[in-house]
Structure 1
Amino acid sequence: MDSQTETEALRRILHCEWGADEQVDWTAVEAHLHTPLPADYRAFMAVYGGGCIDDLIILPPLPTGNGWQASITDDAAGFRELWSTEGGAPGVELGADRVLPWGSGCNANELGWLMTGPNPDQWPVVVWRRHGNPHWALFDCGMAEFLRRLMTAEFDECPLSDLSLWGRVGTFVHHEEQERRFHAGLDPMTGEPNPYAGMFD
């Protein structure tokens, strides 16, 4: 499927009730990152924004200013250092400057793109699995397709070293809604009363 079709397929299973248009200035993003970003990711930011699918953090491109949500910009150096220290994906000769993160979490998995050329819609997904062997793995699909196939168990095996979203559709919550719930004494992801609210302020 093309990126638009894959984005629509993801929307059919992942509800966007708690999403929000991140209102990204893509010209500023491209100037800051020195590259355009894939169309499915840009569509995701317009429908869902940055936030979490359960324990999987989806990064917005630039810092949000509220301190609650990390971003691609925030995480890029660490992701690239991990690529350098772990030797990258098997059979891939590209250096650390050719990877860019878009997600993190689910028991310390790191997700990003391998920037194989000038067309971002052709970039495959690359994942660092904390408990994987090898740690790095490459998937010939975009972000939206990867998320859909993860939650519908359409890979040969779970692509992460965590099964929490394998074959199960999670709930997306935008970072601003998470922060609002937290300050209201609610669990940021479920919206239920948080018995530990205020204990660590």
Structure 2
Amino acid sequence: MTDDLIGTQRPTRRITEPDEAIAALERAVPGLTNHRRPAPAVLDWAVLEDGLGTALPADYKRLAEWYPTFALGDFLLVGLPEPGAEHHRLRGIRGELQEVVQEWWEADMSIGLRPHPAPGGLLPWAGSNEGDVLLWTTTGDGPRDWPVTVASRNGGWWHYEAGAVQFLAEYCSGALEAWALPSIEPRVTPC
């Protein structure tokens, strides 16, 4: 099966401004602002980006500057780097690539999508406590263009043609169809 055979959802309007996407997420998850840092954290993005061999999307980077790792609805863990511990997040992403995405690919469960660093490869950024994984498909002119790809625990794969933060906002608000994911309660827990 190839990438063009899986479902794709498109938002009414793709949010490309990171702060606008974060504001949408804060509206969708009102308790999130209780965990917002008083000032943006200074993160060494070079550790992650050099280690992964690619730049990362600006909305994800901005979210990490304002927020620590958090869980949504006791279901979805959004792993974010911490200042001075960026290498830990890099190790986590590499581990997810090897343990999840690579295993799927080798077991022919990835519907033909390959793991990063393959061209257009999958790069994980969040996961559920039930084995669902949210990834970027690293296509287009750069990270700003990367769609979110959902790999659900039950084998359902689909794309969402927007960034990670907009995906979270619209998933929590119910603006997108969750397809192979359960509905989520817009409650945040810091991790």
TM-score (norm 1): 0.69
What does the per-residue CA deviation read over 1:117-163, in whole Å, with 9 as the maximum and x for residues that have no partner? 3410110001111124xx322111110111111111112x3144333
Shift of 1:30: 1.2
Distance verdict in 2 for CA 1:8–1:56, change over 3 Å: same
Larger RCO: 1 or 2 (CA < 8 Å, sep 6+):
2
Corresponding position of 2:187: 170
Distance 1:125 1:113 in 2: 5
Q: Identity, % of aligned pairs?
A: 24
Quote the residue 1:2 is aligned against.
16
Q: Give, in angstroms, the shift of residue 110 of structure 1.
A: 0.8
TM-score scaled by length of structure 2:
0.72
Cα distance per residue 1:66-89 (max 9 Å; x no partner): x8xx83233222232144134435
AA aligned to 2:26 is R
Retained in 2: the 8 A contact 1:3–1:142? no
Correspondence 1:110 to 2:133:
yes
User: What residue is the counterpart of 1:138 in the other structure?
Assistant: 159
Q: Distance in 2 between matches of 1:136 and 1:142?
A: 17
| Aligned match of 1:17 | 34
The alignment status of 1:47 with 2:59, answered yes or no, reads no
User: Structure 2 counterpart of 1:18, which letter?
Assistant: H
User: In angstroms, what is the RMSD of aligned CA positions?
Assistant: 2.7
Q: Residues 14-33 of structure 1: CA distance to partner in whole angstroms, max 9, x if unpaired?
A: 32323446642012211111
Q: Per the alignment, do residues 99 and 46 of structure 1 end up closer, same or farther by CA in structure 2, a change over 3 Å counting?
A: same
For structure 1, which runs of at least 5 residues remain unmatched after alignment? 176-201
Q: Deviations along 1:22-52, whole A, 9 cap, x unmatched?
A: 6420122111111110011001101112232
**Aligned twin of 2:5:** none
Rounded to whole Å, the distance in 2 between the matches of 1:61 and 1:159 is 29
Amino acid in the other structure paired with 2:77 = I
Partner of 1:59: 79
SS at 2:186's partner residue?
A: coil
Distance 2:130 2:100 in 1: 16
Partner of 2:7: none
User: Which residue number corresponds to residue 37 of structure 1?
Assistant: 56
The ranges of structure 1 where at least 4 consecutive aligned residues each deviate by more than 6 angstroms after the TM superposition are none
**C-alpha distance 48-88 of structure 1, shift in aligned 2 (>3 A):** same
